[in-house]
Structure 1
C-alpha cells in the first residue's frame, strides 16, 4: 500500500508522527496480552487517511485489512492523541504573517444533517455544516484557523469571534475581510448606500480589496486538501472539534518538515 498517497505524509513524516504518538501512548498492547490487530505505525496511517480522504470506516478497514470495529477504536484512541502531540507545532499567527496584513474569511465544512443538531443549516451554502474561520497571508499561507467550529447558520461576523479566530489575531497589525466583516476588521469593501451609488474612488478601492482577498481561496483550498473538511463529514458532530484540531496540526506539521527539507 502506498501510504504516502493515502495519508499525504512522507515516510519520514509518518515515522516522526508515530514516534510522537508512541511517546504519549506507549505500546498498543500490554505484556502478555493479545497481539494488536494492527500496529501503531499502520494505525497512525489509518487515522491520518481517514482525515485526508474522509473514508468510510468500512472502506478504511478493507484497505488496512482490519474490521470496521477496529477502525472505530483506533479513530477514537488516536484522534485526540494526534491533536495533542501536534499542538506545539501550530505556529502563532505573527510567525507566519510577520508585519503584513492578515486576510480573514469563512468556509463551510459540510456535515450530515443530524436531526438533533440545531442551527447547522447554512442558507448561503444551502446545506448543513460548520462555519470555519481562516486567516492567511497575502500569498495564501494559512496563519490561523479558528479552533472552535461554529454552526453553519451563523454569519461570518459572529463566527469570527465565536470560533476564537479574532482572539488569535487580535494583536496583528491589520486585518482585511469581505463585506461580511465590515466594522469587525480594519479593511473591508464599502457597501453601496441605500438608493445611492459608490464613488469611482470607492469602486476602485473595492476592486483592490477584492483582488487581494483572492489569496484566501488558496488558503481554504490548502486546508480542504484534508477532505474531511471538503466532503460531507460523517462522524458524530461531537467529534468534529478534535478532527479539526488534528487537521490543523497536520497542516503545520507538514509545513514544519518543508522548512527543514
Structure 2
C-alpha cells in the first residue's frame, strides 16, 4: 500500500509504502497464483520479477481496492508499466474461466426461473463520451447484464456495452432472451425489459389505478426479483468496478474476472 506525498523540496509526488491488509481469503490468493503458474508454464515463461503469489496479490489488490498502477508498482517494487502488465495478464487468466451464456444455463429448464437485470459500471473515461453516457443514471459508464439465481447468486455476466445501451436492447443483443426461451426458463425482470416477450415477465404499468390482483402480482414479482440486486452488490464490492479507471475495452474482462473470483472453488 502506498500514499502520494507532495514534497515541496522535490517539486513532485513521492510514493511512501506502508503496511496494509487485503480483505480476501489467503486461499483465494493461492488459487489465483496457481492459475498464474499454469499460464506461465503454458507460455514457457516461468521467470518474472514477481513470483506467482505476489503477482496474484498485486492483481487482487487492484481489483479489491482500486489503487492506481503507480501505487501498486511502488508497493510491490515494480514499475508502473510492469504493474499494469501483471494485472492485465491476471485479468486474462481469470476471464478465460468465466462461463459462457449457454454454459451458465446448463441444468436449468422448464419450471426454473432466473432474475435478469442491468447495471452501470461508472467510468471516468469521458472523451468521446456520448456513447457511454447513460440518461438513466446521468453519468458515463458501461452497461453490464446479469443472470442470477433466485437467491441472487450470479450465473453469468455479459460483456460490457456502452452506457447509453438500453437494458432490453442489451439483453437481446447478448442473446439472453432467446437462450432462456430455448430452455423454457422463466425470466423475472424490471420494467426496463417491457416488450421482451418470450419467457420474460415484467411488472404491470400503473399504480393505484391497477386492479388489486395486478398490484399483488407486482408486489410478488418485486419480492422475487429483489435478491438479484445482491449479484451487483457482490460485483461492486470489488472497488475497481465502483469507478473504473481503465479503458472501456477492459471493463468487460474485469467483470468476468471478478465473477470467477466470486464463484471459483478454491477449497479443494
TM-score, scaled relative to structure 1: 0.81
Q: Does 1:237 align with 2:248?
A: yes
Residue 150 of structure 1 is matched in structure 2 by 161
The equivalent residue for 2:262 is 251
Which aligned pairs between 1:110-149 and structure 2 lie closer than 5 A?
110-146=122-158, 148-149=159-160
Aligned to 2:75: 63
**Alpha-carbon offset, residue 102 of structure 1:** 0.4
1:14 aligned residue: 32
> Which has the larger strand fraction?
2
**5+ long unaligned stretches in structure 2:** 1-18
Q: After superposition, what is the alpha-carbon deviation per residue over 1:124-169, rounded to whole angstroms, capped at 9, x for unaligned? A: 21211011101111111112111x2111112111111224444554
* Alignment equivalent of 2:112, drawn from 100, 106, 110: 100
1:192 equivalent to 2:206? Answer: yes
Pick which of 133-142 and 237-246 moved more: 237-246
The answer to whether the 8 Å contact 1:53/1:227 transfers is yes
Unaligned runs of 5+ in 1: 30-35
Q: How many angstroms apart in 2 are the aligned matches of 1:142 and 1:91?
A: 14
| 8 Å CA contact 1:96, 1:143 repeated in 2 | no
Q: How far apart, in 2, do the equivalents of 1:11 and 1:91 lie?
A: 29
Distance 1:140 1:186 in 2: 17
Figure out how many residues of one structure are paired with residues of the other and give that number. 246
Structure with greater helix percent: 1
Instruction: Quote the residue 2:3 is aligned against.
Output: none
Q: Output the TM-score relative to the length of structure 2.
A: 0.79
How far, CA to CA, are the matches of 2:55 and 2:118 in structure 1? 32
Computed over aligned residues only, the root mean square deviation of the Cα atoms, in angstroms, reads 2.9
Following superposition, the deviation at residue 68 of structure 1 comes to: 1.2
